[in-house]
Amino acid sequence: MVRLITHNILACHVKGCTSNNFPLQLQGVQIELREAEFNPEFLKTFLPKIEWKALVDTAKEARDTSLPLEQPEMLDDEFLKNLHHVLLEIHIEEGTMICPNCKHNYPISNGIPNMLLAEHEVG
């Protein structure tokens, strides 16, 4: 499954595509929600590795608007529960991720994102 935590660390790597190549936009996605164990410690340590704006925008594309536009300073329980849901419980099973810059399509099928490129596209 492509969880949004994984999506948040994937970027286009087509040869020459080095700016505005993140986050990959979701298109035609099929989403499943699956409960995961709530682990606030993990969320707190992972938070600095997250690109916040990318996460908020992508969550919107996955029809979740529970996250604040700015990352809050106070990590209260309600925020952490929303973050938990967005990062770890939204699973993209099918669909496409599109590079905002070069429009390369990265398919997701059976929950697996395919980041492979053809030989001539490799940087």
Q: Which listed range, 7-15, 59-67, 69-77, 78-86, lies at the site for other proteins (CB under 8 A)?
A: 7-15
Query: Which of Zn ion, other proteins, none does residue 25 bind (CB under 5 to 8 Å by kind)?
Result: none
117 interacts with other proteins by CB under 8 A: yes
Q: What angle do CA 42, 45, 50 make, to 5 degrees?
A: 105
With binding defined as CB under 8 A, does residue 46 bind other proteins? yes
Task: Name which of 27, 29, 25, 24 is nearest 10 in CA terms.
Answer: 24
The answer to whether 120 contacts other proteins (rule: CB under 8 A) is no
- Cα distance between residue 121 and residue 32, in whole Å: 32
Enumerate residues 6+ apart whose C-beta is below 8 A from 21.
Answer: 11, 12, 13, 14, 99, 100, 101, 102
Closest distance between other proteins and the C-beta of residue 26, in Å?
A: 16
By CB under 8 A, residue 115 contacts other proteins: yes
Under the criterion CB under 8 A, does residue 52 sit at the interface with other proteins?
Answer: no
Q: CA–CA distance from 34 to each of 59, 92, 119 (Å)?
A: 15, 11, 36
**Contact residues: other proteins, CB under 8 A:** 1-3, 5-6, 8-13, 22, 36-37, 39, 41-42, 45-46, 49, 51, 88, 106, 110-117, 119, 122
